[in-house]
Amino acid sequence: MSPVRLVGMTERVLYESSNGDVWALTRDPASNMPVVKHQPTASSGGQMSYTDIGKFLRNGASGPEHQELLKLIGTLLDG
């Protein structure tokens, strides 16, 4: 999966659920720190949120979106 170029930042989709919710690794627009962005569908409330990576992983590392982030982090290591 290639990074998607947005206005001044790069975003990488981690997971899209069967109902259309999307989780992406991106940068917080206010702090420029790496975060996980959650974009729920309108039927789920539709309110986009940004979560610190550590907090995101602590809050539910068994979900498929969490597993995809861990796989991505694993690609940064040799072998």
Q: How many CB atoms lie within 10 A of CB 23?
A: 23
Rounded mean pLDDT, 1-24: 75
Q: Give the model's pLDDT for residue 45.
A: 81
Three-state SS for 12-68 is EEEEECCCCCEEEEEECCCCCCEEEEEECCHHHCCCCEEEEHHHHHHCCCCCHHHHH
Distance CA 77, CA 72 (A): 10
User: pLDDT band at 4, cuts 50/70/90?
Assistant: very low
The structure tokens 């989780």 sit at 23
Mean pLDDT, the chain, whole residue set: 85
Q: Is the pTM of this model over 0.75?
A: yes
